[in-house]
Amino acid sequence: MIVTENISKSFGKQKVLDDLNLTIEEGKITVIIGKSGAGKSVLLKHLIGLLKPDSGKIIFQDKDITRVSDKELKNIRLNFGVLFQDAALFDSLTVFENVAFPVIEHKLLKDRKKLKELVKETLSLVELENIEDKMPSELSGGMRKRVGLARAIITKPKIIFFDEPTTGLDPITSMSIAKLIKQMQEKLKTTCFIISHDLSLTFKIADRIGFLHNGRIMEFGDRHSIKNSKNPIVIEFLESYYTGEENEQQKS
């Protein structure tokens, strides 16, 4: 579980997070939605320790991760897997080397044969087979996301953070990634934190949905409660998405 307590963050005069409180429950999929520029990526970067708040706490395993040493933060990050928006694969490394990277970097397994088996097993969890020798440039967008997901889960992290997991994918591939996240989460019982524009994904897999607005989580609840929110700002956001205005806004 991660709990943020009153985190605030400004860039110059712009206050992006404003006393934000959020609880990410263990073993659940939490999705944060909100308009473009609402601060979803800034929130995610705080949770994984890439940004520090101006004030407030982020509690993980009884520790405030905003106040730990760099060494401690590195150890804490071993509990985290991150799937970045563009999958962030290393283009000069093979799929095998990409997926094995966190294991090699943290010296978690030295036996080459066991590492090969682990990479194979992890790739099969994301429904990929026999692509270890391929280069990222040879893969489709959906396959790159899957490889990125395999790399994020190979160390069996307690929490996986997803930055817009379906951006840039067609609706069918997006749905297959959404299904895969759900299946993987059910199999590994991992806690998942997702920021997304994709309401189809959100309403398909989220256990908890948070609506970020004006630097705060304005509405938080399960799929049913968000869909039936009486808050006019939430209603407007959901309606604009379905009428395409929000999508148009993303493109501009």
Nearer Cβ to ligand ATP, position 84 or 101? 84
Nearer Cβ to ligand ATP, position 58 or 153? 58
C-alpha distances out from residue 66 to 52, 69, 70, 88, 91, Å: 6, 9, 10, 25, 32
Which pair of structure tokens corresponds to residue 228? 């039936």
Name the β-bridge partners of 162. Answer: 83, 194
7, 24, 30, 39: residue in contact with ligand ATP (rule CB under 6 A):
39
Which 7-36 positions form the footprint of ligand ATP (CB under 6 A)?
Answer: 11, 16, 34, 36
Instruction: Give the 3-state secondary structure of residue 25.
Output: coil
Nearer Cβ to ligand ATP, position 58 or 95? 58
Note whether 38 binds ligand ATP by CB under 6 A: yes
Give me the least distance between CB of 182 and ligand ATP, in Å please.
Answer: 22
Which 91-110 positions form the footprint of ligand ATP (CB under 6 A)?
Answer: none
Burial grade of 120 (CB within 10 A; 0-12, 13-18, 19 or more): middle
Q: How far is CA 114 from the centre of its chain?
A: 28
Distance in angstroms (rounded) separating the CA atoms of residues 148 and 152: 6
Give the x/- contact pattern for ligand ATP in 168-207, rule: CB under 6 A: -----------------------------x----------
Residues at the site binding ligand ATP, with contacts judged by CB under 6 A: 11, 16, 34, 36-42, 197
